[in-house]
Structure 1
Amino acid sequence: MPLVNGFDLIDIIKEEHVVAGAFNTTNLETTIGILQAVEKSRIPAFIQIAPTNIPVSGYGFIADMVNRYAAEMDTPVALHLDHGKSFDSVRQAARAGFTSVMTDNAKYDYEENVQHTYEAVQFAKGYGIPVEAELGAIAGKEDDIVTEGNSKTDPKQVLDFVERTGVNMLAVAVGNVHGLNLDPNIDFPLLKQIQDICPVPLVLHGASGIPDEQISQMVDNGVIKINVASDLRQAFIQSAGKDYEADPERFDIVNVSLNAEKAVEEVVYHKIQVMNRNSPTPVR
């Protein structure tokens, strides 16, 4: 089916009471590996890309790749902009055909975050697509961007932030971290407190490093979207590295690429299984 509008995907996720994985891509092989796993799982998902990865493919090319593959799928998929740290990145993604966007203004103080997020939401209304924003600062390394501090989401700000910005999904900082080398520990009492207050669905970033037993609890804590990036990139690079180590003289890039694609698919499928272990229709 064609790419699904993010609003429609949110409705499907809620109706089925599942968690959608949001898997970061960079190139064709990663894209196909992700979408093969999504189709196998039959669980709706977001495929996404951050502006830091755009130089490899461009907004238009990534939209064409995802849309072409999704057209042959039966499982709903939305194309999402991850960590749009500038208004221009949000604008370019929307114009390229992305069906959902994130505006990431967590580096600003609260009032500036509200203002920049509001501007992105108003712009996205012209394209009829939802906007995700971040409240609190998630520590760790996302691509080449390092956030030193981890400022958890303040529940007292949640309702005001959502009402003033009009944002449609809220990414929260509840002990989650970007990357693989830190020690995440989800603060479930805080997450529950935010769930009870927040009028929009919650998003969890940094799932690559979170233990499976914590990930599987998100479906009952208001989280509808969980981001996974580092695990996929590591699987891709390790697969290519193993092929090189096995034969430094090889030049069959097709098989190297197919092996990397398969490695990504396996990680994505496992993550979808874990996310929906406690859902009414767990992935088999």
Structure 2
Amino acid sequence: MPLINGFDLINIIKERHVVAGAFNTTNLETTIGILDAVEKSGIPAFIQIAPTNIPVSGYDYIYDMVARKAKTMDTPVTLHLDHGKSFEAVRSAAQAGFGSVMTDNAKYDYDENVQHTFEAVQYAKGYGIPVEAELGAIAGKEDDDVTEGNGKTDPTQVVDFISRTGVDLLAVAVGNVHGLNLDPNIDFPLLKKIQEVCPVPLVLHGASGIPDEQIAQMVDNGVIKINVASDLRTAYIKAAGKDYQQEPNRFDLVNVCLDAEKAVEEVVYKKIQVMNQNSLTKVK
């Protein structure tokens, strides 16, 4: 089916009581690996790209390759902008046809975060697409961006933030971290407090390093979207590296790419199963 609008995907996720994986891509092989796993699982998903990865593919090219593959699928997919740290990134993604966007203004103080987020939401309304924003600061390394410390989301700010910005999804900092080199530990009491007051669905970033047993609990804690990036990139690079180690003089790039694509598919499929193992039913 064609790529669908993010609002429609959110409704499907909530109706089915599942969690949508949000898997970061960079190139064609990663894209195909992700979407093959999504189709195999039958669980709706976001496929996303951050502006730091755009130099490889561009907004228009990534849209074209994701849209072309999605047309062959029966499982709903939305193309999402991850960590849009500028208004220009949000505008470029919307103009390219992305079905949802994230505006990431966590580097600013609270009022500036509100103002920049509000501007992104107003712009996205013209395209009829949902906006995700971050409240709190998620520690770790996301591509080349490093966040020191972990300013957890303050539950007392949630209602005001949503009311003043109009965002449709809220990414929270509850002990999750970006990357694989830190030690994430989800603060479930804090997550529950946020869930109780937040009028919009929650998003969890940095899921690559979080233990499976914690990921499996997210579906019952208001989280409908879980971001995974580092695990996929690691799988891709390790697969290519293994091929080189086994045969340093090889030149059949096609098989190297296919091995990397398969490695990504296996990781994505496993992540989807973990995210939804506590759901009411397994949906094919």
TM class, shorter-length: over 0.9
Q: CA deviation at 1:255?
A: 0.3
Question: Identity over the aligned pairs, expressed in percent?
Answer: 83
How many angstroms apart in 1 are the aligned matches of 2:135 and 2:282? 30
2:87 — aligned with what? Answer: 87
2:97 — aligned with what? Answer: 97
1:61 — aligned with what? Answer: 61
How many angstroms apart in 1 are the aligned matches of 2:282 and 2:120? 35
Q: What is the DSSP-based 3-state SS (H/G/I as helix, E as strand, rest coil) of the residue aligned with 1:219?
A: helix
Q: What is the DSSP-based 3-state SS (H/G/I as helix, E as strand, rest coil) of the residue aligned with 1:227?
A: strand
1:20 — aligned with what? Answer: 20
How many angstroms apart in 1 are the aligned matches of 2:149 and 2:193? 22
Within 5 Å, give how 1:135-150 maps onto structure 2. 135-150=135-150
Which amino acid in 2 is paired with 1:254?
V
1:272–1:283 CA contact under 8 A, matched in 2:
no
Q: CA deviation at 1:282?
A: 3.0
1:37 — aligned with what? Answer: 37
Within 5 Å, give how 1:202-217 maps onto structure 2. 202-217=202-217
| TM-score when normalising by structure 2 | 0.99
Deviation beyond 4 Å, 4+ runs, structure 1: none
| TM-score when normalising by structure 1 | 0.99
Q: CA deviation at 1:283?
A: 6.2
Which amino acid in 1 is paired with 2:222?
G
1:9–1:78 CA contact under 8 A, matched in 2:
yes
2:157 — aligned with what? Answer: 157
Q: CA deviation at 1:149?
A: 1.4
How many angstroms apart in 1 are the aligned matches of 2:280 and 2:125? 33
Q: CA deviation at 1:155?
A: 0.2
1:79–1:98 CA contact under 8 A, matched in 2:
yes
Q: CA deviation at 1:88?
A: 0.1
Residue deviations 1:220-263 (CA, integer Å, cap 9, x gap): 00000000000000000000000000000000000000000000
* Alignment root-mean-square deviation, CA: 0.7
Which amino acid in 2 is paired with 1:169?
L
Aligned residue pairs total 284
Which amino acid in 2 is paired with 1:16?
R
Q: CA deviation at 1:40?
A: 0.2
Q: CA deviation at 1:280?
A: 1.2
How many angstroms apart in 1 are the aligned matches of 2:277 and 2:188? 18
How many angstroms apart in 1 are the aligned matches of 2:133 and 2:214? 23
How many angstroms apart in 2 are the aligned matches of 1:281 and 1:151? 35
- Where structure 1 has 5 or more consecutive residues not aligned to the other structure, the ranges are none
Q: CA deviation at 1:194?
A: 0.2
1:76 aligns with 2:76: yes
How many angstroms apart in 1 are the aligned matches of 2:162 and 2:34? 31
Within 5 Å, give how 1:237-248 maps onto structure 2. 237-248=237-248
Which amino acid in 1 is paired with 2:254?
V
Q: What is the DSSP-based 3-state SS (H/G/I as helix, E as strand, rest coil) of the residue aligned with 2:47?
A: strand
Which amino acid in 2 is paired with 1:202?
L
1:276–1:283 CA contact under 8 A, matched in 2:
no
- Where structure 2 has 5 or more consecutive residues not aligned to the other structure, the ranges are none
Residue deviations 1:7-60 (CA, integer Å, cap 9, x gap): 000000000000000000000000000000000000000000000000000000
Residue deviations 1:163-208 (CA, integer Å, cap 9, x gap): 1000000000000000001000000000000000000000000000
